[in-house]
Structure 1
């Protein structure tokens, strides 16, 4: 789902101020259009973020949390909360340091919401039992994931759990925090192609 938001945001950013309706006319300036796209693509890789190591470490911890042997390695299910808290603290600090970039505040809000409900539930995200309506495969994916569990409805902060039906290459449940994160990722991705230098006196038509 975040990948879809990122791709749509990039498309929005690359096509910003491009007269889509005029692209099929003979007078459309295709050479200049591709020049603009090249400059915008270059600007994607020029954007800099503060303390990216925090993001990389948090992603690594997130991958570790999906491994089925982590619970045994830590010595019990109740200890799964510690890597979860560490992961969300690191990513939250990274997002706060980069909060001035478009979309980062929304991503930070969503991350904090998800982190709260996960911490309150022992390091795992509760998933609404409504996911049963998506069939056995969707239900089995939740049961097989060590960082999720099927909720009964009485869990702490259940309002912030994965309760919203959503489709992203398959049906799943997402949270209010996920919605905020997707919105932020869309805005951030749309910002990335913004050119650092601008040419004046010429339009893409």
Structure 2
């Protein structure tokens, strides 16, 4: 959720910084349908199908990353996509090593005012996490809109989105 809000804010900043939203619409995107499919799968998994068995949650969560990875691979030549791939890869490896859940630090969860779910979740406090420093260790504090936890991978993804959005929204005129 926090990545989506931040990405939307980056888009809104384009015209404010001299960029053109029209230029973004002209980016040659391949296999575009893979990204909405990956996002839809995550929304279903974490908002609708909240009581799935852990094995199914793990499988569907990794499938969503595979769909997103295929989208990134198809568009790897676009500016910003290598950073997005790196951030998504950091998250995907950490999720895979932790049974389908990105580990969250107790202090980040507490700071964000989140309750730890007893059902399969995309992020949660784990008793013995692998690569915990790559998990959700940062937090937007409770009381701030969209309070949530986020990871180093999320920060790298957003950096890639910024490179993509601002790099492709500029009109290039010959000098």
Query: TM-score, structure 2 length as denominator?
Result: 0.81
Aligned mates of 1:86, 1:127 — CA distance in 2: 21
Alpha carbons 1:101, 1:188 under 8 Å: kept? yes
- C-alpha separation between the residues in 2 aligned to 1:41 and 1:193? 6
**For this pair of structures, how many residues does the alignment match?**
170
Which structure has the higher relative contact order (CA within 8 Å, separation 6+)?
1
Whether 1:131 and 2:108 are equivalent positions in the alignment is yes
Counterpart for residue 124 of structure 2? 149
Q: What CA distance in whole angstroms lies between the structure 2 residues aligned with 1:8 and 1:53? A: 22
Give the number of the structure whose alpha-carbon radius of gyration is greater.
Answer: 1
Q: Which residue of 168, 176, 195 maps to 2:152? A: 176
Alignment of 1:17-32 (within 5 A): none
CA pair 157-68 structure 1, distance change in 2 beyond 3 A: farther
* One of 36, 40, 45 as aligned partner of 2:25: 45
Change (3 A) 1:10 1:139: closer
Match runs of 1:58-69 below 5 Å: 58-67=38-47, 69=49
- Structure 1 unmatched runs, 5+: 17-36, 201-205
| Structure 2: gaps of 5 or more residues | none
What is the rounded CA distance, in whole Å, between the counterparts of 2:162 and 2:123 in structure 1?
25
For 1:91, which of 57, 63, 68 is the aligned residue?
68
CA contact under 8 A between 1:106 and 1:180: conserved in structure 2?
Answer: yes
Match of 1:57, SS state, is: helix
Contact 1:107 1:181 in 2 (8 A): yes
What SS does the corresponding residue of 2:90 show, helix, strand or coil?
helix
SS in 1 for 2:148: strand
Q: What TM-score does the superposition give when structure 1 sets the normalisation length?
A: 0.70
Contact 1:127 1:149 in 2 (8 A): yes
The answer to whether structure 1 residue 195 and structure 2 residue 171 are counterparts is: yes
| CA distance in 1 between partners of 2:100 and 2:33 (Å) | 23
